[in-house]
Structure 1
Amino acid sequence: MSLEANLALIKERIKRSCIKSNRNQNDVKIIAVTKYVDVDQTKEVLDLGLEHLGENRVQNALPKYEKLQGRGFWHFIGRLQSKKVKQILGKFDYIHSLDRLSLAEEIDKRAKQLGIKVKCFVQVNISKEETKTGVEPENLLDFIKEVSKFDSIQLVGLMTMAPYVEDKELTRPIFRKLRELLEQINDQNILDYKLTELSMGMSNDFEVAIEEGATFIRIGSLLLK
């Protein structure tokens, strides 16, 4: 199937999930995970009207960014090494994998040099899988308090990844827990502003994530088959 046909099917599934959970379809944004495709296919994604692109390797993403002249909104969705921060700031609009204070310090330092604020999601390891990174849920509130001290970081929400399972209903408690943590942060007024975004759900489980409140879903294989 064509990219256009794949996108139409995804949008229909998003619509059904939003109807089921009484949500506005416009509140769910697709991040097209273009990390495995070349610049021509990435351009095709943008030409179809998808504005958000997800990349997880700095060395692969930057040549695409340059060739596409900064079109779209760029999301860094992989584990970010502190030494790579200076290469992506000013180009990537969002970082989804803020998971340690040393990374926050580097982002803040480099952002100050550029005179910008960086939009970040805190990655939370809800499933506590050893193969996944992220802040432990029980440490999240303290982590948020520490990160709030950095003037050049703007926290926008939380991100998590669920285990890959055949029965996608098994992912529901993970997505629900992330939403509850975001609500807890907002209820306790830990920040002087509200977190509004939940980055959760991928090709295999995005419908459940939407039903539990996802505002950004990261779609790769289902779109770019």
Structure 2
Amino acid sequence: MTVSRSDDNSIAHTVRCISDHIREACVSCGRNPADVRFMAVTKTVDAARVNEAIDAGITLLGENKAQELCAKYEDYHKSGVEIHFIGHLQTNKVRQIIDKVTMVQSLDSIPLAEELQRQCEKHQKHLDCLVEVNIGEEQTKSGILPELLPRFLEQMTNFDRIHVRGMMAIPPICEDIVQKEHYFSSMYQLFIDIGEKKIDNINMDFLSMGMSDDYSIAIKHGSNLVRIGSALFGRRNYPNKI
């Protein structure tokens, strides 16, 4: 179930439509709609349009690029709003975003964890993170391979300012719905299995998966945080590489 955003519809109207579809997807699989968070992904979207979404009730933003986040941050209506970093995060960009986000959803290496720890110590803060899992084992994508996940999480217990709160995934693009469901189902099983291990400092509270074209399928398979960009703001425009 997806939403095709018409230019005739306001962002507020689209927020309501997507929220309704999320509720319908939850009800159809016996889940409580209150358990699924709706993230607005703001890549290439100017601050004024993001603020329209915030004013319409959006309380969670997903940022992909450190430079873009820094450029728009001061213009956001930030009261009551959380900002998560969801894109690939280079270690040399951590210092730019550490004071602006409440969660990093793309934790995928020990060097990144070390830099997050260092910057958290510097800023006297603690940071929630999700481990990005390369569920499709694609060579061109970042993320921890499923078979390496247990060892990675064991290493994460050594970082006292980083708190792993769950996992994030971007499954491979595929037209076959059965195959797409397989990826989501595999992620959910990992989520459950890791949670049952009760590893110190590792909590499986959030399973972030599902985007504009497949969030209803992701909800069916246990996602409790869906990341929606183009269905909310329209097709992205890439005038410059940021």
Same topology, TM > 0.5 = yes
CA distance in 1 between partners of 2:172 and 2:108 (Å): 18
Shift of 1:132: 1.3
Cα offsets for 1:158-209 (capped at 9, x unmatched) = 0000122334443111111111112111212223563210000000110010
Please give the root-mean-square deviation of Cα atoms over the aligned residues, in Å.
1.4
User: Which residue number in structure 1 is paired with residue 240 of structure 2?
Assistant: none
Q: Does 1:134 pair with 2:156?
A: no
CA distance in 2 between partners of 1:69 and 1:3 (Å): 15
Q: Does 1:17 pair with 2:25?
A: yes
User: Which residue number in structure 2 is paired with residue 116 of structure 1?
Assistant: 125
Cα offsets for 1:95-121 (capped at 9, x unmatched) = 010000000000001101111111100
Cα offsets for 1:108-155 (capped at 9, x unmatched) = 011011111111000000011122110000000110010111000011
User: Counterparts in 2 of 1:35-184, with a 5 A limit?
Assistant: 35-68=43-76, 70-71=78-79, 72-184=81-193
Tell me, yes or no, if the aligned pair for 1:33 and 1:55 is still in contact at 8 Å.
Answer: yes
| Percent of residue pairs bearing the same amino acid type | 37
Q: Which runs of 5+ in 2 are unaligned?
A: 1-8, 235-242
Q: Does 1:200 pair with 2:209?
A: yes
CA distance in 2 between partners of 1:47 and 1:203 (Å): 21
CA distance in 1 between partners of 2:145 and 2:118 (Å): 25
Tell me, yes or no, if the aligned pair for 2:164 and 2:202 is still in contact at 8 Å.
Answer: no
Aligned residue for 1:197, secondary structure, equals strand
Tell me, yes or no, if the aligned pair for 2:15 and 2:53 is still in contact at 8 Å.
Answer: no
CA distance in 2 between partners of 1:191 and 1:138 (Å): 20
Give the counterpart letter for 1:46 in structure 2.
Answer: I
Give the counterpart letter for 2:65 in structure 1.
Answer: R
CA distance in 1 between partners of 2:13 and 2:185 (Å): 30
Tell me, yes or no, if the aligned pair for 2:64 and 2:85 is still in contact at 8 Å.
Answer: yes
CA distance in 1 between partners of 2:61 and 2:197 (Å): 33
Tell me, yes or no, if the aligned pair for 1:162 and 1:174 is still in contact at 8 Å.
Answer: yes
Q: Which runs of 5+ in 1 are unaligned?
A: none
Shift of 1:16: 1.6
Tell me, yes or no, if the aligned pair for 2:12 and 2:52 is still in contact at 8 Å.
Answer: no
CA distance in 1 between partners of 2:39 and 2:149 (Å): 25
CA distance in 1 between partners of 2:94 and 2:78 (Å): 17
Give the counterpart letter for 2:70 in structure 1.
Answer: L
Give the counterpart letter for 1:208 in structure 2.
Answer: I
TM-score, length-normalised on structure 1?
A: 0.95
CA distance in 2 between partners of 1:90 and 1:179 (Å): 31
Give the counterpart letter for 2:74 in structure 1.
Answer: E
CA distance in 1 between partners of 2:42 and 2:178 (Å): 26
Residues 1:131 and 1:192: Cα distance change in structure 2 (over 3 Å): closer
